[in-house]
Amino acid sequence: MKINELLVNGGMAHGDAVSFYGKNYQSRAKRNKTGEISVEIQKLNSLPNWLNNMLLIPVLRGFADTIYAFYMKWWVGLLFLVAPIAMNYRIQAVMGLFTSQSGNAEAGFIFGMLTGLIMVTIVLKLTPTGKYHAAEHIVHNLYLQGRPLNVEEGKNTSRIHEWCGTGCIFLLITYTVIMVFIPIATWLKIILWFPFYGEVIMNQNKYFRMVVTPFKWITYASQFLTTSKPKEEHIEASLKAFQSLLEKEEEMRKSKTIA
């Protein structure tokens, strides 16, 4: 299935819930104190056709995915946009805080980012968020693979996802470290990040994937840090959120076809 044909594009884990995002709606499932799962569905601004098609174009799809993030959640889009700028320009406050420990600006900023990621990883490992994160990956993997959407299938499915957003943060750090040693303008490093990210994450050409395998393994390995093995209750909540959203997206597609 091509990326622009997906009805459900991805999801997000929360402390006590899981969300999924489609072309027209978003869903959020939460298990209450009595054990029941409640689902909320919200309408999103529909993706324009040009953006949907742009996701298929090499080099441009990284930019398209960043724009799509704004449709999903404005702050997610802002993070996608600001993170590479901050990493490459080295925010002065963070740089000043850690430079004295590491000896130079580049190493200081990277040390600060790694420290922050370690703290986030610990939080994810010690809270239900890591389990919901894994369950979100598992259910979306079932969908991408065309497998039955149920708990038993989920138990036998990898929690590693090709398009994990947190994995992209580790990819960005790797990219920034490499670019420190390449003498080109900072603004160009920032621009080049988007096609680099888009191709590493979304290019399905088997030969290209072989070339970028080391970078893909970075995103895969990072997910063992940001996810935890989920229990049935986490997979059930994720399935509920996903299936509720899929039904709404299918209804929308049918209505557009009839119209």
Q: What is the mean pLDDT of residues 110-118?
A: 70
The predicted pLDDT at position 29 comes to: 97
Question: Looking at 44-58, 135-149, 207-221, which range is the least confident one?
Answer: 44-58
Q: What is the C-alpha separation between 165 and 76, in angstroms, rounded?
A: 10
Segment 13-70, tens digit of pLDDT: 998 899 999 989 999 999 888 889 999 999 998 788 899 889 899 999 999 999 999 9
List residues bridging with 37 in a β-sheet.
31
Q: What is the C-alpha separation between 202 and 21, in angstroms, rounded?
A: 17
Alpha-carbon torsion, ordered 184, 188, 193, 196, to 10 deg: -70
Tell me if residue 196 falls in helix, strand or coil.
Answer: helix
Single pTM value for the model: 0.86
Output the six-digit token pair for 236: 């059930």
Segment 116-125, tens digit of pLDDT: 777 777 877 7
